Homo-oligomer: A and B are copies of this chain.
């Protein structure tokens, strides 16, 4: 059992990285055009924009003098030498890069649509400049779903991007709402995955998290995104769009751990006919987790949770991720290299699963 303790992580250095027989492809890596930081500053200053989660998160990242937020600002905006040097120092061969959370999903519809296209052009250019190091996901504006579908098509077919990034809720609404279905339909038709990435819980649920400082990556992100994924399953989105594939970070936001209970209580709920929106599905909740969901290891350089996911979802469903620039310790790369897995499975984890899912 490889019990890495986070308190010791920063002690490792790049020269401790081993030569390995696989490419390390990190699949949940973030960037932010400088112009998006300006838009976010505008939202912070706009008294009519009152999302408490956004305000606390970007109040911190944009304004805090802490080393962590300074570095995140600098690293997020780079798509060139700085990022490449960090990848080299941490042994990362390739990043799959996406617009950072919450992306365009806090912008008004028209601005969101146009900014998504701008960010996609920028990301695509960087990927074309460094085709062996960078791949990218397309930003889209879910709240303008028909245009999101078109932008996803452009991103995949014109710009060479490899999937869509969605940062959980959009103004408190979830992708199971029929207004968003054109986007799900497009992803299925294009045979390209949607990366369902965390964002801060909406005003509808944040208060008990926020008042203890637990709304972010420590817990609120995971709950919000796990809820979103579970909603997609239980409202029948994967019966409606059976080929749709969703990638979820942080080892599936703990839904693989909950899998047995999800199956049991979903069955009980369906039989009891308690909820209008909990209807019979073609499969069990766990069937959709195994057939329509990939999970990445972002935030988890930790054998117990990684192995549970591999055991219950299948080794072909678990992909490596780093979560740059929010978490990028070389010690975590070393810990993941050192997992007690066969050579074949380790290559799937770091390389070949990502190549298949994102068609790299």
- Asked if A108 is an interface residue, CB under 8 A from chain B, the answer is no
B-chain residues with CB within 8 Å of residue A169 when the two chains form the complex: 208
1/0 per residue, CB under 8 A from B, across A250-276: the answer is 110010011111111111110111111
Q: Kindly identify which residue among B1, B219, B231, B305 contacts A227, using a CB–CB cutoff of 8 Å.
A: B219
Could you say which interface size class chain A belongs to?
35 or more
B-chain residues with CB within 8 Å of residue A42 when the two chains form the complex: none
1/0 per residue, CB under 8 A from B, across A198-224: the answer is 000110111111011110111100110
How many Å lie between the Cα of A7 and that of B5 in the bound state?
A: 38
Count of chain copies: 2
Which chain B residue lies CB-closest to A263? Answer: B6
Residues from 300 to 328 in A contacting B, C-beta threshold 8 Å: 300-302, 304-305, 308, 311-312, 327
Q: Kindly identify which residue among B9, B208, B235 contacts A205, using a CB–CB cutoff of 8 Å.
A: B208
- Assess the A269–B301 pair: CB atoms within 8 A: no
1/0 per residue, CB under 8 A from B, across A47-71: the answer is 0000000000000100010101100
How many Å lie between the Cα of A300 and that of B275 in the bound state?
A: 23
- Asked if A4 is an interface residue, CB under 8 A from chain B, the answer is yes
Also in contact, A269 and B304, with CB within 8 A (given A227-B209, A235-B212, A277-B212): no
How many Å lie between the Cα of A301 and that of B258 in the bound state?
A: 12
Also in contact, A68 and B272, with CB within 8 A (given A205-B204, A254-B257, A267-B6): yes
A235 to chain B, nearest CB (A): 6
B-chain residues with CB within 8 Å of residue A250 when the two chains form the complex: 261
Also in contact, A66 and B260, with CB within 8 A (given A7-B284, A227-B219): no
6 pairs, CB–CB < 8 Å, chain A vs chain B: A209-B227, A218-B230, A222-B261, A254-B258, A257-B305, A260-B301
Given contacts A6-B264, A212-B234, 17 further A-B contacts (CB under 8 A): A3-B312, A6-B260, A6-B267, A64-B274, A176-B212, A204-B205, A204-B207, A204-B208, A208-B227, A213-B269, A216-B265, A217-B268, A218-B261, A218-B265, A219-B226, A223-B223, A260-B300
